[in-house]
Structure 1
Amino acid sequence: MNHYLAIAIDIFFGFIVLFTITKVLGRNQFSQITPFDFISSLILGELLGNAVYDPEINIKEVVFAFVLWGILIFTTEMLTQKVKKLRKLLEGEPVIVIHHGQLQYKSLAKSKLDINQLQNLLRQQGFFSIEEVEFAILETNGVISVLPKSQYAPPNTEDLHLELKPVYLPVTLIIDGEVLYDNLTKAGFNEEWLQQQLAKHNIFDYKDVIFAEWRKGKPFFFQKYE
């Protein structure tokens, strides 16, 4: 029983330390994973795994290892922001793989990317033929950014000579039956207004609503639990 309790304590403290470190290091550990970030995540996972399954390692050693690794990563991140050469070494740089509609074979080979993989990445961006692409850039996180040829690009408001209209962000008001009062206040409304909007649709309990949002110039939008 003591053994399981020790594992639970290690996992609990490991979770707290990992969460703290990832919050300090920033969102790029999740949304924009570079090769260096990937290695960093593996090391953190390995540290936690060793702490949980190695009975000879105590919690003080675990915390020390996490904190030390976190300091190293944080220092490296700061250096990459200030030293461009180091940034290129650790994070890599974007590579143009299609230039003016022409495949760049040397760039593809350098990036260890074959034609099939390139087609797969292009399809994920909504382009099913290389012929449609004017420029394609392989980003440091492995995602392809595409600039299509003019004849394949979707028309925009300027192309269609339409009147420009202001753009407003939607404001989420209810999630999982709970009112987000801060958002409601920022939108310039009060709870009475929200109740009136729901009452128009015969809804008198917030718990019946899974999601609701408001956007200027648009009708009040909501969805009930099924």
Structure 2
Amino acid sequence: MKEYLLMFADTIFGFLALFVMVKVLGKTQISALTPFDFISAIILGELVGNALFDKESGIPEIAFLVILWGALLYITEVITQKFKGTRAILEGQPAVIIHKGHLIYDVVKKNRLDIDQLQHLLRSKDVFSMEEVEYAILETDGTVSILKKSEYQIPTNSDLNVTTEPVKMARTIINDGEIVWDNLKEAKLTKKWLEEELRRQNITSVDEVFYAEWQENRQKLFVMLYHNKE
């Protein structure tokens, strides 16, 4: 009877400790599961599980494991925030698998994605034919984001008898206060133009900008500044 009471107490504590850790680390641990997060969840579950069924382990051991692993995850998150170059290693990078209606074969193979899997991901976005897709991006959590061709967007322009225009994907120009030079160059824009456009929007420095994207279709620079919840 005593053993069952100890297991009950350990289980309740383990549950509460994990719940608190998820709250501290943020919603991304459960809402956007990256490969690193997936590995972390498996290892953490294994550590707590072993501690629960080890007769020599109790609440202090479980607390130590949870705190230790939580600290490692927290440090990793801090590193990815401070050093942007580490994000690709720890969190992965989105991959464009359909570009201007063309399937990018080498990117698909590199991400070990077969056609059946891709079709399944597209169907989850209510796309039942690849012909409808202008752009498709494989996200770091394994989902796919799509931008349909003009004639397949809802409501469809063909249904409304509206003249269609080529679809242009918005390009990230500023990310976390830093200029994305490759995208700026691909959009055939210059740093001087960017600075003038920011000044036109009463922004004195790139450092003030959290995110900015160039919307080629609308010939507009959309800017989001740093804002806290308060």
| C-alpha distance after superposition, 1:65-104 (max 9, x if no partner) | 1101101101101111121111110100000000010000
Within 2, Cα distance between the matches of 1:155 and 1:79? 44
C-alpha distance in 2 between matches for 1:71 and 1:124: 36
Q: For residues 102 and 150 of structure 1, what CA distance do their matches in structure 2 show?
A: 15
Shift of 1:58: 2.3
How far did residue 5 of structure 1 move?
0.7
Separation in 2, partners of 1:23, 1:73: 13
Secondary structure, aligned partner of 1:137: strand
Q: Where in structure 2 are the equivalents of 1:1-226 lying within 5 Å? A: 1-155=1-155
- Distance in 1, matches of 2:66 and 2:55, equals 17
Equivalent-residue separation in structure 1 for 2:8 and 2:47 (angstroms) = 15
Q: CA deviation at 1:155?
A: 3.0
User: Partners in 2 of 1:65 and 1:120 — Cα distance?
Assistant: 38
Identity %: 54
Q: What is the rounded CA distance, in whole Å, between the counterparts of 1:6 and 1:51 in structure 2?
A: 12
Q: CA RMSD in A?
A: 1.6
- Amino acid in the other structure paired with 1:36: F
| Partners of 2:52 and 2:58 within 8 A in 1 | no
Q: Distance in 1 between matches of 2:120 and 2:155?
A: 25
Q: Distance in 1 between matches of 2:133 and 2:61?
A: 53
Q: Which amino acid aligns with 1:125?
A: K
CA contact (8 A) 2:93 2:139 kept: yes
User: 1:107, CA displacement in angstroms?
Assistant: 0.5
Q: Which ranges in structure 1 are unaligned for 5 or more consecutive residues?
A: 161-226
Greater alpha carbon shift after TM alignment, 128-137 vs 37-46: 37-46
- In the aligned structure 2, how far is the partner of 1:82 from the partner of 1:146? 30
Q: TM-score, normalised by structure 1?
A: 0.68
Distance 2:155 2:83 in 1: 40
Larger Rg: 1
Q: What number of residue pairs does the alignment pair up?
A: 159
Q: Which runs of 5+ in 2 are unaligned?
A: 161-230
Q: After the TM superposition, list the runs of 4 or more consecutive aligned residues in structure 1 that deviate by more than 6 angstroms.
A: none
What secondary structure does 2:145 align onto?
A: strand
Following TM superposition, by how much is the alpha carbon of 1:127 offset from its aligned partner in structure 2, in angstroms? 0.6
Distance 1:116 1:16 in 2: 40
SS across alignment from 1:134: strand
